[in-house]
Amino acid sequence: MHLVIISGATRPQPKSNTAKIIAAFQKGFEENGNTTEVWYLSDRKQWDNAKNAFESNEHILIAFPLYAENIPGIMLEFLSGLKPKHNSHTKLAFIIQGGFPEACQSRCCEAYLKMLPAQLGCEYAGTLIKGDMFGLGMVDDKNREKMLAPFVEMGRHFAEKSCFEKYVADAFATPEYMPEKQIRMFNMIGRHISKFFMGSIAKKLGCKGNLYDKPYESSVNNPV
């Protein structure tokens, strides 16, 4: 099977967590001689090729980061420029990756994705959701490999089924909500660790202010 993969991420490929996820997915998908081509919407020069690939192939996967509860604006722009297919059996599948750990954060987007393929004359082939991906580009190689291993496995699954089966996608997406115990731990310790971690990253990046600064405070309830 040949699979067209489109990255809907806005970050350039070298800095993109979605690109890392795609690479891991490709590894599992290509194990048995399957092939892929990948197009990155962050690079507008690739849009024509991505459009041609969408038009001339029947297996399409779009991977992207969750932006404001749905697909990123550039991905919406790209998709709205496609001509809906007629009498095709094109299957359209999706991978959503987000920063928060719970799968419930991506369900609103998933609901939209279930409607989207029909708008483009395609069939829906499932959505894979994975949270807690914010640190993917910041961890060491060993931890990154550990975080990406499930995507390699999902590549194998997709190669076999040509879709993401619901029960597999649901198991992959866990936790749906953070367990009570984890919430208690977060409130007691986790939030302090998280604050310290973010402060250290900011310092390394050259942040001179406070992460909770309010640069437009004077505008609050005060129209020009």
Partner 1 sequence: MKKILLVNTLPENDLSVSNVVQALESEDNKVQVFYAYEKNFRPCVGCNVCWLITPGVCSQRDGYDELLKAYLANDAVIFLSGTTLNFVDCKMKNIIDRMLPLVTMGIHIVDGQCRHIPRYDKKFRFGLVYSGVADNEYLNYWMERVTLNFGGESLGAYPVSDVKGVSACI
CB nearer to partner 1: give 142 or 217: 217
Write the secondary structure of 103-155 as one string of H (helix), E (strand) and C (coil): HHHHHHHHHHHHHHHHHCCCEEEEEEEECCCHHHHCCCHHHHHHHHHHHHHHH
How near is the Cβ of 81 to partner 1 at its closest, in Å? 9
CB nearer to partner 1: give 33 or 206: 206
How near is the Cβ of 80 to partner 1 at its closest, in Å? 4
| Gap between the Cα atoms of 84 and 79, Å rounded | 10
How near is the Cβ of 74 to partner 1 at its closest, in Å? 5
Helix (H, G, I), strand (E, B) or coil at 219: helix
Phi, psi of 179 (to 5 degrees): -65, 150
CB nearer to partner 1: give 34 or 90: 90
Helix (H, G, I), strand (E, B) or coil at 3: strand
CB nearer to partner 1: give 141 or 217: 217
How near is the Cβ of 172 to partner 1 at its closest, in Å? 19
Q: List contacts with partner 1 (CB under 8 A).
A: 9-11, 42, 65, 67-74, 76-77, 79-80, 100-102, 104-105, 108, 111-112, 115-116, 119-120, 177-178, 183, 186-187, 191, 194-195, 198, 201-202, 205-207, 209-217, 219-224
| Gap between the Cα atoms of 7 and 87, Å rounded | 25
Write the secondary structure of 4-64 as one string of H (helix), E (strand) and C (coil): EEEECCCCCHHHCHHHHHHHHHHHHHHHHCCEEEEEECCCHHHHHHHHHHHHHCCEEEEEE
CB nearer to partner 1: give 3 or 71: 71
How near is the Cβ of 132 to partner 1 at its closest, in Å? 10
